[in-house]
Amino acid sequence: MKNLMERTSRCTDTLRLLSLSAHLTDRDHRILALLHEHRVLTTHQIVQVAFTSHSRAVQRMRTLTGLGVVARFRPRRDRGSAPWHYVLDTLGAHVLAADRSGDVDRVRVRRDRQLAVAHSTHLAHRVGANGFFTALIGAARARDGGAELGEWLNASDAAEWAEAHSREWGVRVPHPDGYGRWAENGRAVEFFLEWDTGTETHRQLTTKMERYVDFAQDAVRPVPWVLFVFPTPRRENGVRAVLRRVSGTGRLLVATTHLPLAETPHQAVWWPLGRSMGPQRTPLADLAHAVER
């Protein structure tokens, strides 16, 4: 009897998923996959990766929320209102499991744990770093084949990637806030992202830079750029002075920018660390050939 009930339950779940799938598009499935991989995305970020209209994105995400495949929340702010933030809901995880030949363990989620991100002290940091990459995806979509974000790893995946590539690099790879590869007009640049919210002390930033220097010194192949994004111009100027004082910085390829310039990270917003302040900054793709020192 128990086995019969379990088989009946599985059949019911399968029929429910088949019925739900009839309401989901390829774009919906991509959004669900991104929410699983990167935990949380705002409405604006979802527009960048999947829509051409903000209003259509709002309507579709409202529908997906009603279907139970995503959940949403708004972080509390002292002033004004925050945008909707979306996470994968339990039913959305089952949809992904069906997409991946029933591998439920790879996409199993609990709604309460997903929504716990709303109260995380790292929410702003995670959303900011995710927004860096969604902005690149949006730029690539606007170029219609002229550019591509070939890789996007968040902090957790970048840490796993680092461990997997430690032997290839010949040294333990630092754990950045993200890893990516951007290609445009025949030029490609590989980078580690360091998303700064202004909370780390100069000592902490110095230690982080020293780890990258050790990595570059011992690595058996050229290392990616290290891209620092700061919340303000003042923070950028102050930290640049700190980073320059780290012994061995010249072994690294480091560039910085600040908000709101970082909202268009593919454009000429990057200031290589070894370069004095000039009238122009460098586009991301041009870092592949930038002469810093």
pLDDT tens across 74-98, in order? 988 777 688 999 999 988 888 888 7
Query: What does the DSSP assignment read for 128-170?
Result: HHHHHHHHHHHHHHHHTTSEEEEEEEEHHHHHHHHHHHHHHHT
pLDDT tens across 185-206, in order? 889 999 999 999 999 999 999 9
- As a whole number of angstroms, the distance between CA 266 and CA 183 comes to 10
Fold of 2-119: Arc Repressor Mutant, subunit A (1.10.10)
Give pLDDT < 50 ranges for the chain. 1-13, 15, 291-293
pLDDT of residue 110: 61
Q: Report how far apart, in Å, the C-alpha atoms of 213 and of each of 159, 190, 250 are.
A: 18, 17, 9
Structure tokens at 103: 């591998």
pLDDT of residue 292: 40
pLDDT of residue 17: 58
- Domain range list for the chain: 2-119, 123-288
- Please give the angle made by the CA atoms of 125, 261 and 27, to the nearest 5 degrees: 65
Task: Count the neighbouring beta carbons within 10 Å of the beta carbon of residue 54.
Answer: 12
